[in-house]
């Protein structure tokens, strides 16, 4: 009896063809210089002082990063009163109100302010405008840690927050009030342009920053997504749902014509059904998302599709900030 036909019928000998999928990796993506600097500050403090090192709020908006630092001995707290006297404390990259650093000094905590240098620039602008007698309009999302920190540089009544042109129309300021504006560094570039145009229309003498407050990383990542969208059927944004810049990347993809956009913190959150008919997918990552998260998403795609992976755009930005000096004497930024 011939065994040839039975061997041919053996399902193990029949390769299952998988759908082809082209994956474009938007560049730049992932960690920006400010995020890298803040993470380095926590790791350097752990090496210099040993655990525990207390970190006020999430050092950056990414749970994988937070868990990794916790495993190394970082203790994340909401407020400084949770840290014992004399503790080593790191303040997050988003910046804090002056009341927070005042409390740290009053309690003689060994604190290190890991505020992103570009956020610190906004803080200086806000304070400068206030001292010049101007009402400060902050363009951004009320309640975001960065906006909370910027508001906390000056008295509460000296500033307002607007997120859209409707908010601009609702501003109630006394006639002849001098006005200035500053922008959340992770805000949507397109939305910020609309809001600033509305502010200038309403307050022709308004004073703005000499150079854009929106950081290079936000601008570059959003620009890369805009350029990538026409080339793909779907976009996956690697980032947390509570990350401002991750949400802005998803919004930009939708606004520029991508009908299938997913914001996912990890590969297990992928909605596979929505990708069934796709032949090309774009992947980007928020400025607080580690490249390991992108690699995990690619691995998950490879399990279901026959994929090719291409870099789209510039993978590296070449921007670096000076590493924080974490020693016995350093304190504020």
CB 220 within 8 A of CB 317: yes
Q: Which of 20, 28, 35, 55 is nearest to 227 (CA)?
A: 28
Q: Which of 102, 101, 109 is nearest to 84 (CA)?
A: 109
Q: Kindly report the length of the chain.
A: 333
DSSP code of 267? Answer: G
Contacts of residue 70, Cβ cutoff 8 Å, sequence gap at least 6: 76
303 is catalytic: no
Where are the strands (E) in the chain, listed by range?
20-27, 53-56, 74-77, 88-91, 110-113, 135-139, 159-162, 179-183, 234-238, 261-264, 280-285, 306-313
Candidate list 125, 146, 191, 251, residue with the active-site label = 146
The catalytic residue positions are 146
């Amino acid at each position: 009896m011939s065994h040839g036909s039975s061997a041919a019928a053996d399902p193990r000998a029949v390769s299952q063809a998988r759908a082809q999928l082209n994956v474009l990796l938007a560049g730049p993506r992932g960690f920006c210089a400010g995020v890298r600097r803040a993470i380095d500050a926590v790791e350097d403090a752990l090496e210099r002082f040993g655990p525990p090192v207390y970190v006020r709020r999430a050092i950056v908006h990414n749970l994988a990063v937070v868990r990794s630092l916790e495993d190394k001995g970082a203790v994340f707290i909401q407020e400084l009163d949770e840290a014992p006297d004399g503790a080593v404390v790191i303040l997050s990259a988003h910046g804090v109100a002056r009341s927070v650093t005042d409390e740290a000094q009053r309690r003689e905590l060994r604190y290190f302010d890991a505020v992103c240098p570009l956020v610190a620039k906004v803080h200086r602008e806000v304070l400068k405008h206030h001292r010049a007698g101007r009402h400060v309009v902050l363009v951004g999302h009320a309640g975001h840690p960065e906006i909370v920190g910027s508001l906390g540089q000056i008295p509460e009544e000296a500033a307002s927050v607007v997120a859209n042109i409707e908010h601009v129309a609702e501003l109630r300021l006394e006639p002849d009030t001098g006005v200035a504006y500053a922008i959340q560094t992770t805000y949507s570039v397109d939305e910020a342009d609309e809001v600033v145009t509305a502010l200038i229309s309403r307050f022709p003498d308004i004073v703005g920053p000499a150079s854009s407050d929106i950081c290079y990383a936000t601008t570059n990542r959003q620009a890369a997504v805009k350029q990538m969208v026409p080339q793909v059927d779907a976009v996956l944004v690697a980032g947390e749902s509570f990350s401002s810049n991750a949400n802005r990347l998803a919004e930009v993809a939708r606004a520029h014509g991508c009908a299938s956009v997913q914001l996912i913190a990890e590969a297990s959150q992928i909605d596979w059904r929505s990708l069934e008919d796709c032949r090309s997918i774009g992947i980007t990552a928020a400025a607080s998302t580690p490249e390991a998260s992108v690699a995990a998403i690619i691995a998950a795609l490879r399990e279901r599709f026959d994929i090719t992976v291409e870099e789209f755009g510039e993978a590296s930005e070449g921007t670096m900030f000076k590493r924080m000096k974490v020693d016995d004497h350093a304190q504020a930024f």
